Every structure is written in structure tokens, then in C-alpha cells.
Structure 1
Amino acid sequence: MKETRFSKDQKERMVSKIKSYFHDELDQDIGGFEAEFLIDFFARELGPYFYNRGIFDAQQIFNEKAEEVGYVIQELEQPESY
């Protein structure tokens, strides 16, 4: 699997969210550097679980839509005379 890269703006927003979470929920302050290491850890160790779940969900939706298309195509069939 290809490594996920985030834009500078995305990474800054993630760092901000982690720092806020640590401050608000754990009453601890962490620096931006530590927050980036945490992001890298989550991406490397937990990211595949979220990625795979997203793939599974996308496959489910695709299958449902393909089935719907199959029904629509079936409705287009013309009656055959014998």
C-alpha cells in the first residue's frame, strides 16, 4: 500500500486537533513535534484498518448500486413474441 501524504495545511489541522484533545480530555500539553509523531504512528499502525474498512464499505455500496442497475436494465427488456 502506498504511503499516505497529507498537505501541510492538513497536517497542521491534525496536529492542532491532537494537541486540543490532549489538553481538553487528558489535561496534558504536547508539542507539535510529538503530535506529528503520533499522527505518523496512527497512520502506520492503525491506518490500514480504517483504509480496509473504507474499501469494504465502498465495495458494499458498489455492489448495491450494481444490483440496482441490473434491475433497471432488466426493466428495459422488450417482451418477445412467440
Structure 2
Amino acid sequence: MINKEEKSQIVQLVQNYFEDEMLEGIGNLATEQLVDFITDLVKPHIYNQALFDVNKTIKSYQSQLEDALFILEKPTRR
């Protein structure tokens, strides 16, 4: 969740973008609504990608741990 300070910074950045790139201003309320809309739109995609990335990292660490365990294996006599 975005806290108030972060949201305020994002709103300011979006307003600056509209003024610089679109050559028109946009009010605070409209900007906040736009930020909320975009956040709600992309949030599930970012969340799912984060889960995928964490899963990939965990699998990599698991593989490294398995390799380290095999190194510790003691030879046995037959």
C-alpha cells in the first residue's frame, strides 16, 4: 500500500508530467484519481511478478543448499 507521503510525491510527478509533456495542467483530485486507477490496474501484475521472482530466487537458493549438502556427504565402505 502506498502511504500518504509517497502518494503525494507520485501525484506531483504525474502533474509535472502533464504540464511538461501534455502542455496542460491537471488538478490534484483528477491526478489522485488517475494514480488510484493506474495503481489498481497494475497492482495485480506487479504482485504476480514479485511472487514469480521470489519463487525463482528461492529455487536458486534451494539448489545451492542441496549442492552444499552433497559436499558434506561422507563416503561409506561397501
TM-score band by shorter chain is: 0.7 to 0.9
Structure 1 residue 37: Cα displacement: 0.5
1:42: which partner in 2?
38
List gaps (5 residues or longer) in structure 2: none
Q: 1:70 aligns with which of 54, 66, 73?
A: 66
Gaps in structure 1 of 5+ consecutive residues: none
Which residue of 2 is the match for residue 24 of structure 1?
A: 20
What is the number of residues matched between the two proteins?
Answer: 78
Letter in 1 for 2:22: L
Aligned-residue offset at 1:6: 2.0
Q: How far apart, in 1, do the equivalents of 2:60 and 2:24 lie?
A: 45
Structure 2 residue matching 1:30: 3-state secondary structure: coil
Aligned twin of 1:80: 76
The alignment-based identity, stated in percent, is 27
Q: Which has the larger radius of gyration?
A: 2
